[in-house]
């Protein structure tokens, strides 16, 4: 009987204990539930580059180019050459980890945020803003096209076999080039009109001879293969910008990571334009909602000591951080912001 009484007493105590624990957990909830955190944006610079890779493959008869055809300076070495064709700047916005704030419980009821937490509006019915930085992947492992290059007409003559020496093959190829040139000259001079009664056959013959000559000539001067590529490199300026290497470049190997010191540095320079007002501190203003007044900066892209691109860009983090007047946060105003820069877009009474 005593055991039964003790069990009943324990059953009555457990719910009470569980209830006290639940109240304790509620009381200890994180303070963030008393407000909503939001971030101001910072501006990133994306450098877009179009470049070309030209692969030169030496011809098998390169050493005979001058004695047989009078072609000087025919390269005797294969190589790859990279060139930067064009450069553009564009900007993107992302949450600034140094400027994340908490709106009080009253103001938090009216906030509109982008999907990545940037403040986009207060008490506004504006359409949701697009968000998030577009991911672009650079593949720096660019294939070399030299392996894909082949040469025609190496052995296409009945008098040439696998045992024919390189000298003999080169002479045969040179003779065919000279013959094709002579026939084209005679056609162009009208000396073979009787063989081409219609203009279409004339043009086809002239074109076919030109293609044969070009392929045979490549045996002496080599071939070039050109491929175009696009790359992009992101840079986030600090509130006190400085010159920084964003990638490295080599004329033969192309684009390299900035950590590869074997390449030549390509650096970006950001200089704030206009007044030099310091960024205002937003601390110590409990309950305020902040926005950014962005600044304009001049951008330079430097390759070694040469300027290869310039631009003028609005950058959020170089400007000032300012509080929205509390009189506009009572629910009677609709406020929209530019999520890309954090600047005010519109204020309207509802």
Side by side, which strands form the sheet with 333-337? Answer: 111-113, 119-122, 333-337, 344-349
* Chain segment 169-208, per-residue pLDDT in tens: 888 888 888 888 888 777 766 655 555 555 566 677 778 8
**Distance of alpha carbon 51 from alpha carbon 231, whole angstroms:** 8
Range with the lowest mean pLDDT among 85-89, 194-198, 205-209, 323-327? 194-198
Looking at the chain, which runs of residues are DSSP E strands? 35-57, 79-104, 111-113, 119-122, 223-235, 244-250, 254-256, 264-272, 290-303, 306-323, 333-337, 344-349
Phi-psi region of 230 (alpha: psi -120 to 50; beta: other; left: phi over 0): beta
* Chain segment 20-74, per-residue pLDDT in tens: 333 333 233 343 456 788 999 999 999 999 999 999 999 989 999 999 999 888 8
């Amino acid at each position: 009987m005593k055991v039964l009484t003790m069990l009943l007493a324990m059953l009555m105590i457990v719910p009470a204990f569980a209830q006290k624990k639940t109240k304790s957990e509620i009381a200890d909830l994180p303070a963030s539930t008393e407000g909503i955190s939001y971030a101001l944006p910072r501006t990133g610079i994306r450098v877009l580059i179009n470049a070309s890779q030209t692969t030169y493959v030496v011809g098998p008869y390169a050493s005979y180019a001058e004695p047989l055809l009078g072609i000087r300076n025919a390269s005797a070495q294969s190589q790859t050459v990279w060139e930067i064709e064009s450069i553009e700047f564009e900007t993107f916005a992302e949450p600034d980890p140094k400027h994340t704030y908490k709106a009080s419980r009253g103001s938090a009821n009216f906030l509109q945020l982008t999907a990545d937490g940037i403040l986009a509006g207060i008490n506004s019915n504006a359409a949701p803003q697009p968000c998030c930085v577009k991911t672009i992947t650079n593949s720096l492992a660019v294939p070399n096209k030299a392996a894909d290059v082949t040469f025609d007409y190496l052995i296409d003559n009945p008098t040439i076999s696998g045992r024919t020496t390189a000298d003999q093959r080169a002479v045969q190829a040179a003779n065919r080039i000279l013959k094709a040139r002579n026939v084209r000259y005679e056609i162009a001079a009208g000396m073979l009109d009787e063989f081409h009664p219609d203009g279409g056959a004339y043009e086809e013959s002239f074109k076919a001879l030109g293609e044969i000559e070009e392929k045979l000539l490549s045996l002496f001067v080599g071939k070039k293969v050109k491929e175009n590529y696009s790359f992009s490199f992101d840079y986030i300026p600090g509130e006190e910008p400085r010159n920084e290497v964003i990638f490295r470049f080599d004329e033969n190997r192309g684009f390299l990571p900035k950590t590869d010191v074997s390449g030549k540095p390509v650096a970006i320079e950001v200089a704030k334009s206009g007044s030099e007002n310091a960024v205002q501190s937003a601390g110590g203003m409990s309950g305020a909602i902040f926005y950014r007044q962005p600044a304009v900066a001049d951008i330079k892209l430097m390759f070694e000591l040469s300027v290869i691109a310039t631009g003028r860009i609005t950058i959020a983090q170089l400007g000032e951080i300012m509080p929205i007047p509390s009189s506009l946060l009572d629910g009677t105003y609709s406020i929209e912001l530019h999520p890309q820069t954090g600047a005010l877009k519109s204020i309207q009474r509802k």
